[in-house]
Amino acid sequence: MPRMSVLPGAIALCLVLCCVFLAGCEDTPVKMQQNGSVRILSFPAGAAVYLDGEYRGTTPATVTAVPAGNHTLEVRADGYDRWTAPVLIKAGGMANVSATLNAVPVTAMPVTVTPLTIATLRQGYPEIQIDGYWTWPQGISSSTENPVPILLHADGFNVGDADARVVTASANLYYGGHQVCWKTVYFGTLKAGGHVSTDSMVSCSLPSNIKSGDLTIRFENVVVSP
């Protein structure tokens, strides 16, 4: 009789342990479902991303395994004001965030057409002058897509008394005083007293509300091979 009284207690103990074990197995997927993700894009790209004050990479970025709930998102880039906003992460969901950073005002703004001269006081050397402008391609009157197609026109002049075998320059586009994109312009050979015109296309990531006067061009980093 005493031995039979122990059996029901042992069965009950086994049932309790089994329930605890099964509850622990089911806890893992529940916890996984309590996390979500957030994808961050920014203009300009390459900005640093901070979630709740912790660095999480550069844009474009996707941060995973974020606990569901309210969080604080920051996007930072040199020369731009810090962008901060709350973000709600839903369990098992993906939040999409787009941040447009405002450039820090600068005291001097570049002009739309900037001539650049490589001057020399010695005879027998080429002397190169470059100027030009940017415009929307034919059929486009404003930034209707992103990246935006832009037509660059450049004129190279050799006002020296020697030929320049190869001439290149960097056509740099600036928005808000900060460079946003660039294109290497090839003029080829510029004879003494000669002139070469060239047109080329470049794609720039720009804000949708940009005005033509906000985007300027500079011709820099001119390389001349005599």
pLDDT of residue 28: 46
Same fold flag, 35-100 and 116-225: yes
Q: Within a 13 Å sphere around the CA of 153, how many CA atoms are in the beta-carbon half?
A: 8
Q: ∠ at Cα 214 (211, 217), nearest 5°?
A: 125
Contact 27, 34 (CB under 8 A): no
φ, ψ at 18 (rounded to 5°): -65, -40
Radius of gyration of the chain (CA): 31
* pLDDT tens, the chain, 226 aa long: 444 444 455 555 555 555 545 555 444 444 456 999 999 988 888 899 999 999 999 999 999 999 999 999 999 988 788 899 899 999 999 989 888 888 876 443 344 444 544 444 456 788 888 988 888 776 665 555 678 888 899 999 988 888 888 889 889 888 877 888 889 999 999 898 899 999 988 888 877 777 777 788 998 888 887 6
According to CATH, the topology of domain 35-100 is: Immunoglobulin-like (2.60.40)
pLDDT of residue 205: 81
Q: Where are the domains of the chain?
A: 35-100, 116-225
CA distance linking residue 61 with residue 37, whole number of Å: 11
Residue 213 DSSP SS3: helix
Nearest to 149 by CA among 209, 217, 210, 200: 200
Architecture of domain 116-225: Sandwich (2.60)
Q: Where are the alpha helices (DSSP H) in 70-185?
A: none
CA distance linking residue 3 with residue 157, whole number of Å: 110
H or E segment and range at residue 114: none
H or E segment and range at residue 30: helix 2-33
